[in-house]
Structure 1
Amino acid sequence: MLDANLKKQLDTYLQNIVNPIEITVSTDESAKSKELLGLCQEIAELSDKISLKQLTDGSERTPSMAIAPVGETPRVRFAGIPMGHEFTSLVLALLQSGGYPSKAEAALIEQAKSLQGEFHFETYISLSCQNCPDVVQALNLMAVLNPNVTSVMIDGALFQDEVTEREIMAVPTVLLNGKPFGQGRMTLKEILGKVDAGASKREAADLNKKEPYDVLIVGGGPAGAAAAIYAARKGIRTGLVAERFGGQVMDTVGIENFISVNYTEGPKLVASLEQHVKEYDVEVMDNQRASKLRREKLIEIDLENGATLKSKSVILATGARWREMNVPGEQEYRGKGVAYCPHCDGPLFKGKRVAVIGGGNSGIEAAIDLAGIVEHVTVLEFGDTLRADAVLQKKAASMANITIIKMAQTTQVRGDGKKVIGLTYKDRNDNQTYDLDVAGIFVQIGLVPNTDWLKDTLELSRFGEIEVNSHGETHIPGVFAAGDVTNVPYKQIIIAMGNGSAAALGAFDYLIRSSVEDEAAA
């Protein structure tokens, strides 16, 4: 199952196992069970510190594998075959169960170890989901560190009966002790914050003690990362506060227009950005959402957890989020058939009929990807022509299970109370309405800037974007903005990076001028 190159890499990693571990494989006579057993046998052959045990009594999900130190009851389990994006999760589980230390922050490790109570996590994933491994790896680490925690990864495509029964319509979906816990990408810090009741108050108290920054960047996407690097290189006190490092790029699969790099993927680019930022003296505060901006003697940023950060200048780089249809039923069935990440959630709709809303590049790319998984894809485009690149339109037209309907305005998401069963759209040519029966609706109609918290503070465009000049300045002295959150045209990663760099240089010039003016006034 593992090719020679992958075996060689895995062999190198497994040399770091300190203590003996045991893999327990639960199998039956199915082909997938034999495939998983073969994988586990190949892994066991690579290290004398790994032993293998097979169960055929049906006491666990089949096929599945559990990993634990020899003599201990397993707390980490993979239901399915952890390949694709989850192969890294498997490797880390092997290493950490074998005593190899995690690279997580020491404070988070101690917090995980000290959790009291029983925490049994089940995470439904798809092997093509680039956000799922972050959640799986965080929960697995908690299970390794704390005997009160268990973690099970479940491949939704393989356990479809279970997915249907539990009404899992998006990945990653996490259950805690059998009840819904969360959906979407979550970091170790976020998960611990949700299960540790006192974490938020402790964190807010620590943040309130921070000394004022010279420049504080709000947002951790490409614009925010570039701004942080450029500011730190000037030798000024730099902070970066963000809900999650990487922002929207973490949800981007293929990137082919990043100059000098032929192809990369969102999570890989984010990892490189984060590593680059860490090479400088930048204080990063993640898992924090800004709630208000004030201009006092210093600029103050209030956070949702009650903390307030102060700075001489601020760069707002909060990016954008998926635009919603804003039709009846969308919010009610969000995560229950209404989805925004076709690459992540597509495998859950295997063999079913789905719709894609939007005929731009994102929409047509989504339709092409989904067509290889689902029974049929219907693309609904509001205008009379598709906006996607010609090469994408040609590819979609060549696929027999893609139908494209133009001049179609979605007016309602229909459901049965538990999940999506279809949608209603209006033909804009004759105003007639039609029902389309689908199990999933993938919304791909662009982005909306994250400026809700700034509406009464800054001048915004009619699209809700922050108005800036060529230096990234807003109308408030000392407040700059960069990237997709601004009115700068062309929302592209490389343009956001340039905006962030320019805003940092603009902020530095502002600090110099302010310092000179203060001296003159004195």
Structure 2
Amino acid sequence: MLEADLKAQLKGYLARAVRPIHIVASLDDGPKSAELRGLLDDLAEASDRITLDLNGTDARRPSFALTSPGHDISLRFAGLPMGHEFTSLVLALLQVGGHPSKAAQETLEQVAALDGDYLFETYYSLSCQNCPDVVQALNLAAVLNPRIRHVAIDGALFQAEVEAREIMSVPTVFLNGEKFDQGRMTLEQIVAKLDTGAAKREAGRIAGKAPFEVLVVGGGPAGAAAAIYAARKGIRTGVAAERFGGQVLDTMAIENFISVKETEGPKLAAALEQHVREYDVDIMNLQRGTRLVPAGDDGLVEVQLENGASLRARTVVLATGARWRQMNVPGEDQYRNKGVAYCPHCDGPLFKGKRVAVIGGGNSGVEAAIDLAGIVAHVTLIEFDAQLRADEVLQRKLRSLPNVRIVTSAQTTEVLGDGSRVNGLVYRDRVGGDDHRVELEGVFVQIGLLPNTEWLKGTVELSPRGEIVVDARGQTSVPGVFAAGDATTVPYKQIVIAMGEGSKAALSAFDHLIRHSAPAQQAAAA
């Protein structure tokens, strides 16, 4: 099943296990069970700590459970965890085998202390880059707490369940039979939803922090670069981020990051966070800013957070990034995750053999249409302008595909559905003015990004597009407040540019600090 070099790597990883790992497989006579049997044989061959039992009785076949003798662990994979989920499998084996997690100790203790009986079921697709975070978080929870059970289910392999539960977006998580949440979630986010007192405790902890010399708001490439450059100056640095990695987490293939031939968004995001954590940086995850208060007589800028706490700093770097832009048409919100999707890599496999539309003719839209054409029955690409805006090489590829229709000079006006899922959309011909209905089951929106700056209106100068106006040094209209990345007026929203701008903003913040006389000691005592 596995190639020789991958087997060698797996053997090296599994050498870190410190206790026995028992695998119980539930198989049938189908080809997928045969593939799973080959994978499990390779796992057993890779470590003498692994024992394999092929007489499992679980109703989902093929599937397998991981446990360790003497430990109450309920963790199961339904399907073949390859593709993006192979890492989830390796981590699950290591953690079941007693290898410690790198998650924050405080979070691990929170999970272990959760009171209640929880059965989580996560539906994923092998091409989904968002799914592994959720699968790995819940797998770890099942290892830490005997009252937490987790089953990771390949939606493409268990289509009957997907249809019955009306799952049209992955990852989708059920808790004790009821829908719990959809989309990317970290272990901290999951715990926060289960432990209702966690947010209040965290707010109290944050409110008690001493002022920072540089506070970075945002944890994407710009925010990570700013934090590293500030911390390397030896000054007190903090990062308040809603999710570390930002928009990079939703990016599949990255092939233009200089010196790195090819990587994936989640992998790069993990490397960014690991790099930041090598320095003395106070990282505060799951934090969203709601208001920026310019410095007063004490020389401290205040950032108010959604949880009610506030952070203060002598300088602030705003790196809040951007999010997918919505069409803002009737039916879009109603059918979100019920046929309206924003991640073709994640949700594409759920539309196998169906008809879909892609909204947007830029690089993202055309790439999405090309990828989807290999999975779905038919793709209709709808572009507002009179011509596609994607690179010519992508356009040639798209036009060569037999199951793609391109519609230009078209404005999507409504998403249609039957109350539970999408069944069509309406677009208006911008030349003739006629309305047209397209019968389909999925709509993938790829029309660009919207800066996360609504909370800054009235405080920081914004462009008509909502971007933070900055000068050549990253300085905003507010003294001591700098900005970088996709949330700013700097052109070309690229990872490498965001990193450079984040670094520049941190250097500018440091220059601001050394040119103002109030020493850090006075700020800390304020």
Shorter-chain TM-score: which interval? over 0.9
- Alpha-carbon offset, residue 260 of structure 1: 2.2
CA change 1:323–1:21 in 2 (3 A) is same
**C-alpha distance after superposition, 1:10-51 (max 9, x if no partner):** 111122222222111111111111111221122112222211
Partner of 1:410, secondary structure, is strand
Aligned to 1:31: 31
- Preserved CA contact (<8 Å) 1:24 1:54: yes
- Bigger mean CA offset, 10-19 vs 157-166: 10-19
Counterpart of 1:318 (choices 320, 336, 341) is: 320
Alpha-carbon distance in 2 for matches of 1:130, 1:372: 18
Map 1:236-251 onto structure 2 (within 5 A). Answer: 236-251=235-250
Alpha-carbon distance in 1 for matches of 2:267, 2:360: 27
- Bigger mean CA offset, 451-460 vs 163-172: 451-460
- Alpha-carbon offset, residue 498 of structure 1: 1.4
What letter is aligned with 2:189?
A: E
Aligned to 2:146: 147
Alpha-carbon distance in 2 for matches of 1:422, 1:98: 49
Partner of 1:484, secondary structure, is coil
Aligned to 2:364: 362
Alpha-carbon distance in 2 for matches of 1:467, 1:42: 56
Matched, 1:480 2:479: no
- Alpha-carbon offset, residue 74 of structure 1: 5.0
Alpha-carbon distance in 1 for matches of 2:347, 2:482: 36
Alpha-carbon distance in 2 for matches of 1:415, 1:193: 33
Partner of 1:55, secondary structure, is coil
Aligned to 2:22: 22
Alpha-carbon distance in 2 for matches of 1:236, 1:49: 47
Alpha-carbon distance in 1 for matches of 2:10, 2:149: 25
Matched, 1:115 2:117: no
Alpha-carbon distance in 2 for matches of 1:337, 1:155: 19
- Bigger mean CA offset, 446-455 vs 493-502: 493-502
Map 1:426-445 onto structure 2 (within 5 A). Answer: 426-445=428-447
- Preserved CA contact (<8 Å) 2:72 2:146: no
Alpha-carbon distance in 2 for matches of 1:44, 1:56: 16
- Preserved CA contact (<8 Å) 1:318 1:450: yes
Partner of 1:515, secondary structure, is coil
Map 1:309-388 onto structure 2 (within 5 A). Answer: 309-388=311-390
Map 1:279-294 onto structure 2 (within 5 A). Answer: 279-294=278-293
- Bigger mean CA offset, 94-103 vs 328-337: 94-103
Alpha-carbon distance in 1 for matches of 2:192, 2:55: 36
Alpha-carbon distance in 2 for matches of 1:96, 1:44: 16
- Bigger mean CA offset, 235-244 vs 95-104: 95-104
Alpha-carbon distance in 2 for matches of 1:502, 1:100: 39
Which segments of 5 or more consecutive residues in structure 2 lack a partner in the other structure? 521-526
- Preserved CA contact (<8 Å) 2:73 2:146: no
CA change 1:431–1:315 in 2 (3 A) is same
Alpha-carbon distance in 1 for matches of 2:248, 2:26: 37
Once superposed, what is the RMSD of the aligned Cα atoms?
Answer: 1.5
What letter is aligned with 2:340?
A: V
Matched, 1:90 2:89: yes
Which segments of 5 or more consecutive residues in structure 1 lack a partner in the other structure? none
- Preserved CA contact (<8 Å) 1:205 1:307: yes
Map 1:228-307 onto structure 2 (within 5 A). Answer: 228-295=227-294, 296=296, 297=298, 298-307=300-309
Q: Which runs of 4+ in 1 moved over 6 A?
A: none
Aligned to 1:465: 467
CA change 1:38–1:260 in 2 (3 A) is closer
Alpha-carbon distance in 2 for matches of 1:517, 1:73: 54
Aligned to 1:501: 503
CA change 1:392–1:509 in 2 (3 A) is same
- Preserved CA contact (<8 Å) 1:61 1:79: yes
Matched, 1:125 2:124: yes
**C-alpha distance after superposition, 1:197-239 (max 9, x if no partner):** 1111111111111100011000011111111111112221111
Alpha-carbon distance in 1 for matches of 2:247, 2:278: 23
- Preserved CA contact (<8 Å) 2:220 2:245: yes
- Preserved CA contact (<8 Å) 2:24 2:56: no
Matched, 1:100 2:99: yes
Alpha-carbon distance in 1 for matches of 2:28, 2:34: 8
**C-alpha distance after superposition, 1:98-144 (max 9, x if no partner):** 21211211111111111100111111101111111111011001101
- Alpha-carbon offset, residue 60 of structure 1: 2.3
**C-alpha distance after superposition, 1:28-85 (max 9, x if no partner):** 111111111221122112222211112365x421111110113666510001100111
Alpha-carbon distance in 2 for matches of 1:516, 1:185: 42
Map 1:371-410 onto structure 2 (within 5 A). Answer: 371-410=373-412
CA change 1:9–1:482 in 2 (3 A) is same
What letter is aligned with 1:16?
A: R
- Alpha-carbon offset, residue 264 of structure 1: 1.8
- Alpha-carbon offset, residue 290 of structure 1: 1.1
Matched, 1:187 2:186: yes
- Bigger mean CA offset, 214-223 vs 272-281: 272-281
Partner of 1:103, secondary structure, is coil
- Alpha-carbon offset, residue 174 of structure 1: 0.8
TM-score, normalising length from structure 2?
0.96
- Preserved CA contact (<8 Å) 1:28 1:56: no
What letter is aligned with 2:221?
A: P
Aligned to 2:523: none
CA change 1:77–1:56 in 2 (3 A) is closer
Alpha-carbon distance in 2 for matches of 1:348, 1:245: 27
Partner of 2:490, secondary structure, is coil
TM-score, normalising length from structure 1?
0.97
What letter is aligned with 1:126?
A: S
Aligned to 1:491: 493
Matched, 1:49 2:49: yes
CA change 1:20–1:262 in 2 (3 A) is closer
Alpha-carbon distance in 2 for matches of 1:499, 1:117: 46
